[in-house]
C-alpha cells in the first residue's frame, strides 16, 4: 500500500469507529427503552394484536431467508477475497499463467475519430471502464503484432491497458530491442515509446463488463469497513431480535396468552384439611407440549378473546397470580386451561359468556369458610371428582374473594 492509501485507510477506520460507537450507543439506548416499555405493559395492545395475527396467519419458516442471507454473505466474503487477490497480483505475472485486470480508465472505451486505423482495420474490441479483462503472458518480443492490446507499467508505476499503434525495430538509438508506441482508442495522442521489459501481459479478448466496479470498491478501505459493518450486523441483529422476542413472550405469559411452563419439583407429602389430593390428575403438561397442544391453545385463546375486555382482564389477573408460583406447569384443552401446582394439586379455568369458571381441589365448605360464597359443589360430576368446588367469577369483588383460595393452594 502507498502512503496515501495507508492515510485513507486510517482515516476511514477512525470514521468507522466513531460511527460504530455513536450509532451503537443509540441502538443500545433505543433497545433499552423499548424493552422497558414492553416490560411495563405499554406495548401490550400491539403485542396482543401481533400475537393474534400470528395465530390467525402463522408465519412461514424463515429458514429459506436465513439460507439466502448466509449464501449472499458468503458470496460477498468470497468476492472480497477475490478482489484482495487481484490487488496482490497486480505485479507482472509469470510467464506461464493468465491473470485478471480491472480497467480503471475509459481510454479504451470508444473510438476517437482521429484514429482512422480503428475503422480501416475494423478494430472493434474496445474495453469499457471497470471491465474485468483476462490477460495472458507476453509472447516473444518479435512476436508482438501491430494493434495488439497489452498491459504495461508507466513511469508512475501505474498499469495501463492500451493498443500498440507503432513498432520501431532495433536501430542506432536502441540497437538491441524493439520500441513500442501505444495509444488508447479514445485518445488523440500516443504514449511515450516503451521497451518490452515494461510490458506485463497481453489482452486475450475476454472480458466481464462492470464487475471491476465492485472489485475496485472492495479493494479500497471503505469497502473493507463496509464488510466489517455487514459482519457486525449479522451478529447484532439476531441478538436484538432475541431480546425483543423474549420480552414479548414474557408479557404474553403475564397476559395469560402463553402458558408459563416450569419443571415440576418433587414435594414432600402434606396433609391439609379440606384439600383434595387425587392419585391421578389428568392433562399434566409435559416438558415439551404435544403437537396437538398447539391447536388446543389456539382454540382456547379464540374462545377467550371473544369475551368482554373486563372479563379478559380478570382472566389475565388470575393467570398471572397462578403463574407467579415457581412450581406451576400449564396445559390446555379446547375448553380448559389447567394449572398443576407443585406437581400435586390442580386448578382448571374455563370461560363462558360473562363469567370465568374456576375449578378448585378444595371442599366447598373450605371455600365458604374463606369468604367465597359463589361456590358450587360439582363433586357428583365424574370428570370433576378431584375438583369438587366450582367458583364463578363475574365481578371484581368476586375475583378478590377468589385470591385467598388460590393463595391457600400455592402456599402448600
- Residue ranges covered by each domain of the chain: 3-27+43-89+220-252, 99-210, 255-411
Determine the pLDDT at residue 276: 40
Backbone angles phi, psi at 410, to 5 degrees: -75, -20
Determine the pLDDT at residue 277: 38
Determine the pLDDT at residue 412: 59
Burial of 292 (0-12, 13-18, 19+ CB in 10 A): exposed
Question: Which residue in the block uniquely carries the three cell numbers 379478559?
Answer: 312
User: What is residue 325's three-state secondary structure?
Assistant: coil
Task: Tell me the C-alpha distance between 339 and 333, whole Å.
Answer: 12
**CATH class as words, domain 99-210:** mainly beta
Determine the pLDDT at residue 5: 67
CB atoms within 10 A of CB 262: 16
**Contact assessment for residue 360 and residue 398, using Cβ atoms and an 8 Å cutoff:** no
Contacts within 8 Å (CB) and 24+ apart, 35-44: 35/243, 35/244, 35/247, 38/244, 38/247, 38/248, 38/251, 39/247, 39/250, 39/251, 41/251, 41/254, 43/248, 43/251, 44/251, 44/255
Task: Tell me the C-alpha distance between 184 and 389, whole Å.
Answer: 97
Task: Tell me the C-alpha distance between 77 and 84, whole Å.
Answer: 11
CA 256 to chain centre: 29
CATH topology of domain 255-411: 3.90.1150
- pLDDT tens digits, the chain, 412 residues: what are they? 567 667 777 787 788 788 888 888 888 888 888 888 888 878 888 888 888 887 777 766 667 877 887 788 788 778 777 877 776 666 555 555 788 888 988 999 999 999 999 999 999 999 999 899 999 999 998 899 999 999 999 888 888 999 999 999 888 887 888 899 999 999 999 999 999 999 989 999 999 988 888 888 877 777 777 777 887 877 788 888 888 888 888 888 777 777 655 544 444 443 334 444 333 333 333 333 443 467 778 788 888 888 888 888 888 888 888 877 657 788 888 888 888 877 667 888 998 888 899 998 888 888 888 888 788 888 887 777 788 889 999 888 888 888 888 887 776 5
The residues near 231 (Cβ < 8 Å, ≥ 6 apart) are: 73
Determine the pLDDT at residue 51: 81
Determine the pLDDT at residue 261: 54
Determine the pLDDT at residue 370: 83
Task: Tell me the C-alpha distance between 91 and 97, whole Å.
Answer: 13
Do domains 99-210 and 255-411 share one topology? The answer is no
Q: Residue 129 gets which letter from DSSP?
A: T
Determine the pLDDT at residue 343: 67
DSSP per residue, 235-281: HHHHHHHHHHHHHHHHHHHHTTSS--------------TTB---S--
Amino acid at each position: 500500500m502507498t502512503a496515501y492509501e495507508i492515510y485513507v485507510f486510517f482515516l476511514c477506520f477512525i470514521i468507522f469507529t466513531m460511527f460504530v460507537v455513536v450509532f451503537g450507543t443509540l441502538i443500545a439506548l433505543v433497545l433499552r427503552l423499548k424493552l422497558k416499555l414492553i416490560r411495563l405493559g405499554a406495548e401490550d395492545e400491539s403485542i396482543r394484536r401481533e400475537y393474534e395475527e400470528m395465530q390467525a396467519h402463522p408465519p412461514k419458516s424463515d429458514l429459506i431467508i436465513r439460507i439466502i442471507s448466509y449464501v449472499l454473505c458468503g458470496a460477498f466474503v468470497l468476492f472480497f477475497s477475490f478482489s484482495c487477490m487481484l490487488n496482490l497480483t497486480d505485479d507482472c505475472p509469470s510467464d506461464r499463467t493468465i491473470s485478471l485486470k480491472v480497467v480503471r480508465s475509459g481510454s479504451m472505451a470508444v473510438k476517437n475519430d482521429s484514429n482512422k486505423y480503428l475503422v480501416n482495420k475494423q478494430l472493434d474490441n474496445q474495453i469499457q471502464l471497470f471491465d474485468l479483462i483476462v490477460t495472458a503472458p507476453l509472447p516473444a518480443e518479435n512476436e508482438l503484432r501491430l494493434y495488439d492490446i497489452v498491459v504495461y507499467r508507466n513511469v508512475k508505476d501505474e498499469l495501463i491497458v492500451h493498443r500498440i499503434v507503432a513498432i520501431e525495430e532495433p536501430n542506432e538509438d536502441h540497437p538491441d530491442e524493439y520500441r513500442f508506441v501505444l495509444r488508447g482508442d479514445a485518445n488523440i495522442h500516443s504514449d511515450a515509446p516503451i521497451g518490452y521489459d515494461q510490458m506485463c501481459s497481453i489482452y486475450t479478448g475476454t472480458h466481464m463488463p462492470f464487475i471491476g466496479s465492485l472489485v475496485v470498491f472492495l479493494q479500497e478501505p471503505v469497502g473493507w469497513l463496509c464488510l466489517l459493518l455487514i459482519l457486525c450486523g449479522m451478529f447484532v441483529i439476531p441478538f436484538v431480535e432475541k431480546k425483543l422476542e423474549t420480552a414479548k413472550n414474557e408479557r404474553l405469559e403475564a397476559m395469560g396468552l402463553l402458558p408459563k411452563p416450569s419443571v415440576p419439583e418433587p414435594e414432600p407429602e402434606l396433609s391439609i384439611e379440606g384439600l383434595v389430593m387425587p392419585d391421578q390428575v389428568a392433562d399434566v403438561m409435559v416438558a415439551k407440549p404435544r403437537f396437538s397442544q398447539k391447536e388446543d391453545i389456539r382454540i382456547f385463546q379464540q374462545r377467550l378473546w371473544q369475551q368482554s375486555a373486563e372479563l379478559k382482564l380478570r382472566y389475565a389477573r388470575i393467570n398471572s397470580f397462578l403463574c407467579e408460583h415457581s412450581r406451576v406447569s400449564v396445559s390446555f384443552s379446547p375448553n380448559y386451561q389447567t394449572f398443576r401446582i407443585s406437581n400435586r394439586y390442580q386448578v382448571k379455568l374455563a370461560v363462558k359468556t360473562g363469567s370465568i369458571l374456576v375449578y378448585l381441589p378444595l371442599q366447598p365448605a373450605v371455600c365458604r369458610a374463606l369468604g367465597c360464597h359463589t361456590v358450587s359443589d360439582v363433586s357428583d360430576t365424574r370428570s370433576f371428582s378431584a375438583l369438587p368446588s366450582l367458583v364463578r367469577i363475574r365481578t371484581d369483588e368476586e375475583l378478590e374473594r377468589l385470591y385467598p383460595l388460590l393463595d391457600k393452594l400455592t402456599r402448600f
